[in-house]
Amino acid sequence: MSDVQTSLTFRANAARAIKDAPLRSAMRQAADTFGTKRADAFAPVADLEALRDKASAIRLQVLDRLQEYVDTFAFQATKAGATVHRARDAGSAREIIAKILKDRNARTVVKGKSMVSEEIHLNAHLEKQGMEALETDLGEYIIQLVGETPSHIIVPAIHKNRQQVGRLFAEKLGVEYTEDPQALTKIARKALREKFLAADAGLSGANFAAAASGSLVLFTNEGNGRMVTTIPPLHIAILSLEKMIPSLADLPTFIRLLPRSATGQSITSYVSVITGTRKPGEATGAKELHIVLLDNGRSEILSGECREILKCIRCGACMNVCPVYRTVGGHSYGWTYPGPMGIVLTTLLTGMAQSHPLVDATTLCGACVEVCPVRIPLVDLFLKLRERRVREGFSKPMEKQGMRVFGKAAASPSLFSAGQFLSRTFWPLVRAFGGKDVAGRLPRPAKVPFHRRVP
Amino acid sequence: MTSPDLLRRFLENAGNAAAGTHVVFDAPGLRRVLSEIVPGTDPVFCPGLTDKEKAAAPFLPCRAADYASATATVEEVYGAIAETGSLVCVSSGGRAVQAGLLPSHHVAIVSRERIFATLDECFASFAEGPPTNITLVTGPSRTADIELTLAIGVHGPEKLDIIVF
């Protein structure tokens, strides 16, 4: 798995991806399928706009008093038998998890899908310590076998076709080649079932954490999330701070929005609510539950002008409608989170110096804002980040010079008129020598400027 | 009290999620449905904790001692939700929620009066404090991770049958 961020070469990454015809067609197919299914799934929801308002308000309420909710969650989860750890950054989260496993002599870890674990590059760290961290979501399992990273947050292996998966399973699992998705799924079921039953520990993320009861909430379709949280004796959950919701009474709103926005299902096959450890007389739940609450830059985002990105519930709807994402795919963005929400989160979490080209990866069309179930003003955030890029000195020198000259000219009527005169005079030259790239894109200067035509 | 409309909505939504749905009114009805959907030779786990599970047990000729060695689980669940067609499985009363996860066939008995209209009603029933595990189950285990082609039965059950009793 590549742990190196490549957001700085976004343009080159994108150019490469655009030439990859099979990838483009897979991305387009995923985007179209989810886009259509999303629309169909919301069609019978009469009060969708009110539902989005409500979800947005709940998420804002959480952000306004995040520390309070986090403290309540930690207190209640502890009361229910869990051990809560707080990790300031990726490094300390990795250390905490590795230590929990090492102290219990746990070697094999089965993992449910978790973007946060990708964010902190957990697998590579555990493997370095001689532990096996096995992805069990089918898509994640496929790309782990190949040694790649997810290209889509909902369908991580969308860039692999059935023939590639068939050959991969034949080679790595020693089974007979088949390209039937149902048969391939059965092969994975069998291979992973043994792993679930033998694993020392299960590791999961969480879609939400209900503060009032200290509960973790997980949405899954395959059932692997249920496996990793109930079968091994030890369960470790890692989640970032902003996953809080006030209480389970708020969960129905998000059950109505998240699966519809993500895959166009009215609900996922499974929604699990886990509150603490197995209690005396019970037959369900891990004997030991550790919850790692990751900050990794969230507190800083919370106090800044782009705090609304923390409302995000990771549905991926903004990606499926984004004309840039649909064309260049998830890998081009060069870090864990792609697409419109990824542009904002990546630049904020990794810093402009590591990611500034991403703020150009948008047409500002606002399609993402139209579909966001929690009403994140993504276009406003892009503009704020563009201003920030200039402030922090990461804009291109030519652009900066050009803007300075234009600023001077625009402030002086005589200079502005001179500029208009020059552009009219030299237009034939520009047209003759500028070529398609320049002359074809520039508007032809008007013979009489607009302000002189207005009486 | 379950209105006929609530039951109809639940069955319709559960059916849309690819669950098999059956409605029975008495023990002979339960026997008929079980003999149709559970092959007599397969080892079946039935916890026998509730009256309805006790009623089902004699109709299962091949009982498994635990869910790990069973190919099917027949159990009564906490309730159901009409809005989403979901089953509500909980860990209270010493119930192993994973018994409905590991075997490839999950047969859930739902008491008619335990059908909630909405998700909100369901979660309101846990206001006193949730049990260790609440799992909403809607249809069989599924994935579309290979070329977005729907495949049923990944890690959880390939078949889900719901008997409203």
Farthest CA pair distance, chain B: 45
**Is residue A240 included in any domain, yes or no?**
yes
Asked if residue A178 has pLDDT above 80, the reply is yes
The two three-digit tokens of residue A426, written as one number: 């030299």
Name the pTM for this structure: 0.92
Q: Give me the sheet containing B159-164, strands edge to edge.
A: B20-23, B159-164, B105-110, B72-76, B44-45
Residues A401 and A291 in one domain: no
A278 touches chain B (CB under 8 A): yes
Q: What average pLDDT does this structure show over B27-44?
A: 92
Question: In this predicted model, what pLDDT tens digit does every residue of A89-146 receive, in sequence order?
Answer: 999 999 999 999 999 999 999 999 999 999 999 999 999 999 999 999 999 999 999 9
A230 touches chain B (CB under 8 A): yes
Q: What average pLDDT does this structure show over A68-89?
A: 98
A288 touches chain B (CB under 8 A): no
**Is residue A40 included in any domain, yes or no?**
no
**Is residue A346 included in any domain, yes or no?**
no
Q: Which residues, 6+ apart, have CB-to-CB distance to B134 below 8 Å?
A: A272, A273, A275, B88, B89, B90, B91, B126
ipTM: 0.97
Burial of A118 from C-beta contacts in 10 A (0-12 / 13-18 / 19+):
buried
| Residues of chain B contacting A230 with CB distance shorter than 8 Å | 97-98, 101, 133
Nearest to A275 among B119, B130, B156 (CB): B130
**Is residue A288 included in any domain, yes or no?**
yes
* Chain mean position to CA A449: 47
Nearest to A223 among B96, B147, B156 (CB): B156
Tell me how far apart the alpha carbons of residues A212 and A115 are, in angstroms, rounded to a whole number: 25
| Residues of chain B contacting A54 with CB distance shorter than 8 Å | none
pLDDT band at A149 (very low <50, low <70, confident <90, very high): confident
Asked if residue A2 has pLDDT above 60, the reply is no
With both helix axes pointing from N to C terminus, report the angle between A138-146 and A162-173 in degrees, rounded to the nearest 10: 70
User: Where is the domain boundary, A296, A322, A342?
Assistant: A296
**Is residue A342 included in any domain, yes or no?**
no
The CATH number linked to A292 is 3.40.50.10420
Tell me what the pLDDT averaged over chain B comes to: 94
Asked if residue A158 has pLDDT above 90, the reply is no
How far is B36 from chain A, CA to nearest CA, in Å?
25
| Residues of chain B contacting A156 with CB distance shorter than 8 Å | 145
B135 with A278: Cβ contact below 8 A: no
Taking CA atoms, A319 is separated from A5, A118, A276, B114, in Å, by: 20, 18, 34, 40
User: Where is the domain boundary, A278, A296, A314?
Assistant: A296
Nearest to A181 among B68, B151, B155 (CB): B151
**Is residue A283 included in any domain, yes or no?**
yes
Domain count, chain A: 2
Q: Which helix (H) or strand (E) holds A163?
A: helix A162-173
The two three-digit tokens of residue A128, written as one number: 């370095």
pLDDT over 70 percentage in chain A: 99
Look at residue B40 in the predicted model and tell me its pLDDT. Answer: 80
The two three-digit tokens of residue B7, written as one number: 């039951």
The CATH number linked to B113 is 3.40.50.10420
Least confident of A21-30, A49-58, A274-283, A287-296: A21-30
| Residues of chain A contacting B145 with CB distance shorter than 8 Å | 137-139, 142, 155-157
With both helix axes pointing from N to C terminus, report the angle between A10-19 and A21-42 in degrees, rounded to the nearest 10: 90
Asked if residue A432 has pLDDT above 90, the reply is no
Residues A405 and A274 in one domain: no
Asked if residue A402 has pLDDT above 50, the reply is yes
Least confident of A87-101, A378-392, A413-427: A413-427
Asked if residue A64 has pLDDT above 90, the reply is yes
Q: Which domain holds residue A420?
A: 397-453
**Is residue A231 included in any domain, yes or no?**
yes
pLDDT band at B24 (very low <50, low <70, confident <90, very high): very high
Residues A287 and A427 in one domain: no
Least confident of A255-264, A442-451, B113-122: A442-451
Residues A290 and A146 in one domain: yes
User: Where is the domain boundary, A268, A296, A324?
Assistant: A296
Tell me how far apart the alpha carbons of residues B71 and B59 are, in angstroms, rounded to a whole number: 16
Asked if residue A440 has pLDDT above 80, the reply is no
A99 touches chain B (CB under 8 A): no
pLDDT over 90 percentage in chain B: 84
Q: Which domain holds residue B77?
A: 4-164
Beta strand A215-220 pairing with A208-210: antiparallel
Residues A285 and A409 in one domain: no
Look at residue A3 in the predicted model and tell me its pLDDT. Answer: 65
Burial of B5 from C-beta contacts in 10 A (0-12 / 13-18 / 19+):
exposed
Tell me how far apart the alpha carbons of residues A283 and A325 are, in angstroms, rounded to a whole number: 45
Tell me what the pLDDT averaged over chain A comes to: 93
Nearest to B137 among A136, A227, A270 (CB): A270
**Is residue A307 included in any domain, yes or no?**
no
B138 with A184: Cβ contact below 8 A: no
A226 with B101: Cβ contact below 8 A: yes
pLDDT band at A446 (very low <50, low <70, confident <90, very high): confident
Report whether A356 contacts A389 (CB < 8 A): yes
Q: What average pLDDT does this structure show over B29-39?
A: 94
Question: In this predicted model, what pLDDT tens digit does every residue of B37-82 receive, in sequence order?
Answer: 998 888 999 999 999 999 999 999 888 988 999 999 999 999 999 9
Asked if residue A35 has pLDDT above 90, the reply is no
Q: Which amino acid is at B54?
A: K
pLDDT over 90 percentage in chain A: 76
How far is B42 from chain A, CA to nearest CA, in Å?
19
Domain count, chain B: 1
pLDDT over 70 percentage in chain B: 99
Least confident of A171-180, A342-351, B145-154: B145-154
